[in-house]
Amino acid sequence: MNFYIIIPAHNEADSIGLTLQSLVNQTLKPKQIVVVNDNSTDRTETIVEEFTKKHPFISLVNKKSSNQHLPGSKIINAFYKGFEILDDDFDVICKFDADLIFPDNYLQQLAFHFKNNEKLGMASGFCYIEKDGKWILENLTNKDHIRGALKAYRKACFLEIGKLKPSMGWDTVDELLAKYYGWEILTDESLNVKHLKPTGISYNKASKYLQGEAMYKMRYGFTITLISALKLAYKKRSFTLFKDYMAGYFKAKRGNIDFLVSDEEGEFIRKLRWKGIINKFQK
């Protein structure tokens, strides 16, 4: 299978070399890797250029944007900057972060899953972070959710869901829309990916309301947003985050911000969310 990989990178000099080396070492080589250097002020560009000289399948695109590290739009806009230069000859398109170390069999194992299930739309491994000298699961979400750091999409699924939304919540709405269109999602617990920077460590204060805004834009409605905000805040051990999430939801509602999904898709999403919530309580 032909894997195309796009890696948005902003000031990732400490990690981008490790990420690229782990991809160069894959038992199934990617056909194309595009690193989008998004306004970096460190040695990110230089390090990537060193890889492009040695490996023809790696290319570099430079992009100018703000220095703010906001989740959602910044990273997806960078993704599209890389996507623009790619041809259409891919079976799987990946959006990977620039701070990951992949096991050598990562792409080969994903290819195995995609080949053995024609309805598989998205697949991934799991992120692990270092704590007290040990690599432990970065347990921020349900195990059936594919983290935004390591997304891999079958081409047909990627196109049917309308590609990626330049908004906070893009890495949730993509899965919800994939399910809406009948695609399956798989996470492989045997694929342990080292995540060198814990999620959110570099987000600035301006991002704190965006999670609640995303829940509004996905048409969760008040009750599901309330439950989801409580769950996320509990996982992160912060009641302040709960207040920020709800404030973001109401701010978006007052501002009549555009939704990410249609009425029909929103109804499907709410039913799916309620089913998941009820199943949790019944266990």
Q: What is the DSSP letter of 181?
A: T
Q: What is the DSSP letter of 28?
A: S
* Residue 142, pLDDT score: 73
0.85 surpassed by pTM? yes
Q: CB neighbours (10 Å) of residue 141?
A: 18
DSSP H or E segment with residue 62: strand 58-63
Block mean pLDDT (10 aa), the chain, length 283: 97 97 98 96 97 97 73 87 96 98 98 98 96 87 87 98 93 96 97 86 62 94 95 85 94 92 96 90 70
At 189, the amino acid letter reads E
* Residue 250, pLDDT score: 95
Which residues are paired to 96 by β-bridges?
150
* Residue 140, pLDDT score: 67
Extended strands (E) in 118-266: 120-131, 134-137, 150-154, 184-195
The two beta strands, 120-131 and 92-96, are unpaired
Separation between Cα atoms, residue 151 and residue 174, nearest integer Å: 10
| Domains by residue range for the chain, with CATH | 3-195 (3.90.550.10), 208-282 (no CATH)
